[in-house]
Amino acid sequence: MPVYQLPEAVLFPPVHLAAKSGLLAVGGDLSPERLLAAYREGIFPWYGNGEPILWWSPDPRFVLFPNELRISRSMRQFLRKEIVRITFDRAFREVIAACRRPRPGQDGTWITAEMREAYAALHDLGYAHSVEAWQEKELVGGLYGVSLGSAFFGESMFSAIPNASKAALITLVSHLEKRGFDLIDCQVETAHLRSLGGRPIPRRDFRALLQRSLRHETLRGNWGEWLAE
CATH 3.30.70.3550 residue ranges of the chain are 4-58
CB contact burial 113-137 (16+ within 10 A = b; e otherwise): eebbebbeebbeeebbbbbbbbeee
Total-model pTM: 0.94
| Protein fold of 62-225 | Aminopeptidase (3.40.630)
pLDDT at 1: 61
**Which residues have CB under 8 Å from 12's CB, separation 6+?**
4, 6, 24, 25, 37, 38, 41, 43, 55
pLDDT averages per 10-residue partition of the chain, 229 residues: 87 95 96 98 93 96 97 96 96 96 64 95 98 97 98 97 96 95 95 95 98 97 77
What is 65-105 written as a DSSP string?
Answer: -GGG----HHHHHHHHTT-SEEEESSSHHHHHHHHHSPPTT
CATH 3.40.630.70 residue ranges of the chain are 62-225
Assess if CATH 1.10.10.10 describes domain 4-58.
Answer: no
pLDDT at 3: 85
| Coil, strand or helix at 52 | coil
